Amino acid sequence: MIQLQEVSMTFPGGITALHPLSIIFGRGEFTVLLGSSGAGKSTLLRCLNFLNQPSGGRITIAGIGELRHGNVLRQHRCRAGMVFQHHHLIARQSALQNVLLGRLGYHSTWRSLFPLSRSERYIALEALDRVGLLHKAMERVDSLSGGEQQRVGIARVLAQKPQIILADEPVASLDPASAHNVLSLLRDICKEGNISAIISLHQVDLARHYSDRIVGMRAGKVVLDGKPEQFSERDLAELYSQSIPSDTQKSIEPEKQAILSFNL
Ligand SMILES: Nc1ncnc2c1ncn2[C@@H]1O[C@H](COP(=O)(O)OP(=O)(O)OP(=O)(O)O)[C@@H](O)[C@H]1O
Ligand SMILES: [Mg+2]
């Protein structure tokens, strides 16, 4: 379980991406974050493992403590796997080598993974098998399709033996069939291992289909939170309507002024 208490994020330039926000993500829950561009989804995901250090509030991980403590953050990062839109794989390395990177958190350095123990290789091969890519283990990842690369990214997270998966638009660059394939795989993996998932998506239909819970964001605030069946098409479509709350307009104004003052 992850508890956020009054967590906020204002970037050095003055943009407030998250207004003080309190929310609990339960163990084993498959949560989808929805919201238009700039709503704060990536910032929230990045705060959940301190890739963005929140400007205020607390994040507490059940059983280990508050994330702002270095030892808690190290333990949490070891158990929290990240999946990204653009895979973040090493293109010239094989699928197996990329998946082995998931084991790095359990060793002090990349070098300390070598010579590779049978058990490390076995964990990585098991993970590739789980995503249906054992037969591609020795192939360079840049020779794989986008959907396959994303599955290698999931295998890398699996090899990490995670308790939580944070995924930022994991299917944004995939065709509809591959998007379904990757999301249903992620969901099955999370349900089998009682792993919590917090995933940002732009596709409302996929969110409805796969999530246990939808958290809708708008201008750095949570404006919807509940089971998918609680929301009508209209509720969800409204997340993407154009109107911007007036406090956000105010916060953009100095930015415009600064840009206007440049001689382009
Ligand atoms: N590193 C940064 N420095 C300054 N401002 C940032 C930074 N990262 C994000 N922002 C701003 O914070 C706000 C929220 O951005 P964020 O990336 O979290 O939105 P998002 O919901 O993930 O959008 P998208 O759907 O386009 O990915 C935006 O106004 C964005 O410009
Ligand atoms: Mg984003």
How do residues 137-150 score in pLDDT, each as one tens digit? 999 999 999 889 99
Residue 262, phi then psi, degrees to nearest 5: -80, 145
CA distance 26 to 41: 18
Atom of ligand 1 nearest to the CA of 15: 5
Task: Find the ligand nearest to 33 CA.
Answer: 1
- pLDDT over 60 (residue 94): yes
Strands 196-200 and 164-168: parallel
More confident: 36 or 111: 36
62 contacts 108 by C-beta, under 8 angstroms: no
> Closest residue (by CA) to atom 26 of ligand 1?
37
Q: Which residues surround ligand 2, an ion (CB under 5 A)?
A: 42
Tell whether the model's pLDDT for residue 109 goes beyond 70: no
Q: In what order do the strands lie in the sheet with 16-25?
A: 16-25, 2-10, 56-61, 65-66
What is the DSSP code (8-state) at residue 29? -
Residue from 43, 169, 248 whose mutation best tests the ligand 1 pocket (most atoms within 8 A of CB): 43
Ligand 1 atom with the smallest distance to the CA of 40 is: 18
> Is it the case that residue 41 has pLDDT exceeding 50?
yes
Q: Is pLDDT at 176 greater than 80 in this prediction?
A: yes
- Does the pLDDT value for residue 249 go beyond 50? no
Tally of CB atoms within 10 A around 249: 12
Q: Mean pLDDT score of the chain, rounded to an integer?
A: 88
**Atom of ligand 1 at shortest range from CA of 36:** 25
The percent helix, strand, coil of the chain (3-state, each to 5) is 45, 25, 35
Write out the two tokens for 223. 């404006």
- Residues lining ligand 1, judged by CB closer than 6 Å? 11, 13, 15, 17, 35, 37-43
CATH ID of 2-259, from 3.40.50.300, 1.10.10.10, 1.20.1280.50, 2.40.50.140: 3.40.50.300
User: Quick check: 20 pLDDT over 50?
Assistant: yes
